[in-house]
Amino acid sequence: MTNNNVENMFTYEDYEGMAECLLSRQPHRPSIGIICGSGLIDLANKLEERYNVPFEKVPKFPACTVEEQKGEFCFGTLKGKTVVMMRGPFHLYEGYPAWKVASPIRVMKVMGVHTVIVTSASGALNPVFNLGDIMVNIDHVGIPSLAGTNPLDGKNDERFGSRFVDMNKVYDEKLRMSALRVAEELRLAPFTKQGVYLMVGGPSYPTPAEARFLRSLGGDAVGMSIVPEVVAARHCGMRALGLSLITDLVTMDYGAAGVVAHDEDVLETVKWRAMAMNDLVVGVVERLDCE
C-alpha cells in the first residue's frame, strides 16, 4: 500500500501551464531555485526586484497546509543572480503523493531553472551533532522511496528525464564544496557539518527504537522532506544542494528525559540559527558563476 496515486498525475502540458502562469505574472526568468523549508522562510526578504505569486494563483498547483509556511513563489535577484524561491514546500504527511510533493521541481525545470537548493529542519541521529548545527547533505536515504513511494512512479515523460535514474552523487559535489568554503569564510565552520540525511514520512517523530534503526542505516540526521524534490531534480538533470538545520536531538534512550515539541523546540531553534542559514545560501548563490 503506497501513498502515491498516479492516476491523475500532472502532464508535461500541465507543468507548462503552471510555468507560463508564473512567468507571465513577473518579469524574471530564474536559473536558480530555492525551496525554503524551516530555517529559510525569511530568505525571500533578501531578494531585490521581488515579485510574489501565491500558490492559489497557479492553475492546478497544490495548496500549502503547514501553518508557518507562506504558500507562495518569490521571484527576484540575489547577488545578481535571477532566483525563484518557494515558500511552503509540500510533505507526504499532508496527504500528497510523492509525485505531487516533487511537482514544484518540474515547474522550475520548465521555467529554466538548472540549480536547486533545498533546505529542511531535521533531528540529529549522529551523537557528535549539536542543536543548531547546519548539515551539508552528502547523500540521503529515502525510506518512503525504498518502500514504494517514489516521485518517479507512474508513466515517465522523456522530456524530463530517462526512466531509470543514476542516483550516485545526487548532491552536487561542487555545490557542497562551495557551501563548506562559504561556511569557512563566514566563520560558520564550527557548527557546519557534513552527513547523510534520512527521510521518513512523518508527521510523528521517531521512537527510540526507530531512531536506533535509522542510525544503523547510516543516517546522521532525520527529517520529513526534500528527498522527493531532490530525486525529481536529479531526474530532470538539475544540480542540487541540500542543507539541514539540526533543530532537535533524536532520543535513542528510553530513560532520556524530555520530548520534542514542534512549536517550542524546532521553531525556536530555527529562529536563532536562521540568519546563519540565510547567509550560507546567499554565499553559495553568489559563487555559482565561478564554481
| Ordered DSSP codes for 54-121 | EGGGSTTPPPP--TTS--EEEEEEETTEEEEEEES---GGGT--HHHHTHHHHHHHHHT--EEEEEEE
Residue 2 lies in a domain: no
Residue 1 lies in a domain: no
**Number of separate domains in the chain:** 1
Burial category of 202 from C-beta neighbours within 10 Å (exposed 0-12, middle 13-18, buried 19 and up): middle
Residue 256 lies in a domain: yes
Cell of 64: 500549502
The answer to whether the Cα torsion of 266, 271, 273, 279 is positive or negative is positive
Residue 249 lies in a domain: yes
Residue 4 lies in a domain: no
Q: Are 175 and 280 in contact (CB under 8 A)?
A: no
Residue 120 lies in a domain: yes
Q: Which domain holds residue 90?
A: 12-290
Q: What is the pLDDT along the chain (291 residues), one digit of tens a residue?
A: 456 677 789 999 999 999 999 999 999 999 999 999 865 768 889 999 999 999 999 999 998 877 666 799 999 999 999 999 999 899 999 999 999 999 999 999 999 999 999 999 899 999 999 999 999 999 999 999 999 999 999 999 999 999 999 999 999 999 999 999 999 999 999 999 999 999 999 899 999 999 999 999 999 999 999 999 999 999 999 999 999 999 889 988 887 655 555 455 556 666 778 889 999 999 999 999 744
The pLDDT of residue 271 is: 72
Residue 66 lies in a domain: yes
Residue 23 lies in a domain: yes
The pLDDT of residue 291 is: 46
The pLDDT of residue 267 is: 62
CATH number at 163 reads 3.40.50.1580
